[in-house]
Structure 1
Amino acid sequence: MSELILVVDDEADIRDLLVFNLKREGYDTLEASDGAEALELARSRRPSLILLDVMLPRLDGLAVCRELGKDRSTEHIPVIMLTARGDDVDRIVGFELGADDYVVKPFNTRELLLRVKAMLRRRVQPEDEDPLLRCHGVCLDPQAHKVTVNDRPVELTAIQFCLLRDLMRSSGCVRSREELLSSVWDYQFEGYDRTVDTHIKRLRARLGEAADIIETVRGIGYRCKG
């Protein structure tokens, strides 16, 4: 079955452009022109990914992102936010609310499609290695794509899982923000170092009592306790 992508934008021209290019790449699509409709479709159809504009009528994209994150049935759907607002503060707010990626308008359609492919690949890509990764009560199973803390299951988004896996693979070694961006997001961000900080914060929150296995190395990046 083709991946189903929900395109949310109040500008019909942008929706038409995105839908045309996504269908040409073999994806199935859904469309919404406002936030309330987007939330309803996300809950009823469970798309594989959401392209979500920030400035929307009825319910803006940030509010939609917040509501998606509150619902266990939708919290794992990857969200790429589309917006004309490119300030760091806006990016961080979006990431804090659960967005996985952030594209500023006007965007390059080819680049956006590459980001879509990278995001979907992380959801379904099988792992080559068999060994479980363990660190101070945290167990990560690359094959089953599961994480437990002291034998209790922990639900992570695709980005959070990839971040934790990267850090646990290099247990005891420092991973710079640039290395994490390249490894986890599959492509280079321009000036998005704070993206890593925000996602690390969200990952620590999910790990709860085991949050301290991720150590901050001031001025460099992060490491998993050895």
Structure 2
Amino acid sequence: MGSKQNYKILVVDDEPDILEILQYNLEKEGYGVRVAANGRKGVEEARSFLPDLILLDIMMPEQDGVETCRQIREIPELQNVYVIFLTARAEEYSEIAAFEVGADDYIVKPIKPRALMSRISALFRRESKKKKSSSKISIGDLIIDRNSYTVSIKDQQVVLPKKEFELLYFLAQHPQKVFSRDDLLQNIWGSDVYVLARTVDVHIRKVREKIGEGFITTVKGVGYKFELN
């Protein structure tokens, strides 16, 4: 998907002013946009709209954003959708909870529309470049296919959200090389996204839970590396 007209964005927030501002600015940029005023409606819209990106509030009536994100990630067609939290919750535990359920980014309100538009545009540009350089990595029983965003081990498919997949793929591209948390944040999340270093640990743990402990090892005091088993 090269042009903005091909990208679809869902905005889920209970504040009408924010929905209106974001919808206006996103449509002005050329994106296809839908909005939802609560978490339950957000899941319904996500299922029917199949967006490329979801902008999601945390504190909402009926169902909060963390639970909404968890439910969205359980929909097979939305395993790899980008999810950016836009929230007034600045506490570290809220951010960690968001990444635990599969968030790709976490932005604290108040929102600066122009900065957000630039961030979204940069995200889609990076995605386009990655698709052009897609390839498959096979290491023993583990197969990582960048074209289809799929992972299989011993012929069993493993479902990884986008950032978990990108983290595994990046490490597997550089076996035996140790990367610090800062290196991984820079290469997976980019310099225009601010997330905690703890986010890397959360994603590594979740990848290990799905593919096993033996592929990614911790180098104490340094970072992580992919092992050739």
* Superposition TM-score, scaled by structure 2 size: 0.88
1:86 is aligned to 90
1:160 is aligned to 164
Q: Distance in 2 between matches of 1:189 and 1:76?
A: 18
Letter aligned with residue 138 of structure 1: L
Query: Does structure 2 conserve the Cα–Cα contact (< 8 Å) formed by 1:48 and 1:120?
Result: no
Q: Distance in 1 between matches of 2:123 and 2:206?
A: 18
Letter aligned with residue 119 of structure 2: R
Structure 1 residues 69 and 129: alpha-carbon distance in aligned structure 2, compared to 1, 3 A threshold: closer
1:218 is aligned to 220
RMSD: 2.0
Once the 2 structures are TM-superposed, how far is the Cα of residue 44 of structure 1 from its aligned partner? 1.7
Q: Distance in 2 between matches of 1:121 and 1:197?
A: 26
Query: Does structure 2 conserve the Cα–Cα contact (< 8 Å) formed by 1:118 and 1:185?
Result: no
Q: Distance in 2 between matches of 1:165 and 1:97?
A: 20
1:28 matched to 2:32:
yes
114, 117, 131: which is aligned to 1:126? Answer: 131
1:19 matched to 2:23:
yes
Once the 2 structures are TM-superposed, how far is the Cα of residue 73 of structure 1 from its aligned partner? 3.5
* Superposition TM-score, scaled by structure 1 size: 0.89
Once the 2 structures are TM-superposed, how far is the Cα of residue 137 of structure 1 from its aligned partner? 2.2
Letter aligned with residue 45 of structure 1: F
2:116 is aligned to 112
Once the 2 structures are TM-superposed, how far is the Cα of residue 70 of structure 1 from its aligned partner? 2.7
Once the 2 structures are TM-superposed, how far is the Cα of residue 136 of structure 1 from its aligned partner? 4.0
Q: Distance in 2 between matches of 1:43 and 1:151?
A: 28
- What are the superposed Cα offsets for residues 112-143 of structure 1, whole Å, 9 maximum, x if unpaired? 2233234444555424365x323342122334
Q: Distance in 2 between matches of 1:70 and 1:146?
A: 15
SS in 1 for 2:98: helix
1:39 matched to 2:40:
no
Once the 2 structures are TM-superposed, how far is the Cα of residue 104 of structure 1 from its aligned partner? 0.6
1:146 is aligned to 150
1:175 is aligned to 179
1:2 is aligned to 6
Query: Does structure 2 conserve the Cα–Cα contact (< 8 Å) formed by 1:214 and 1:222?
Result: yes
SS in 1 for 2:131: coil
Q: Distance in 1 between matches of 2:104 and 2:194?
A: 16
How many residues end up aligned between the 2 structures?
223
Unaligned runs of 5+ in 1: none
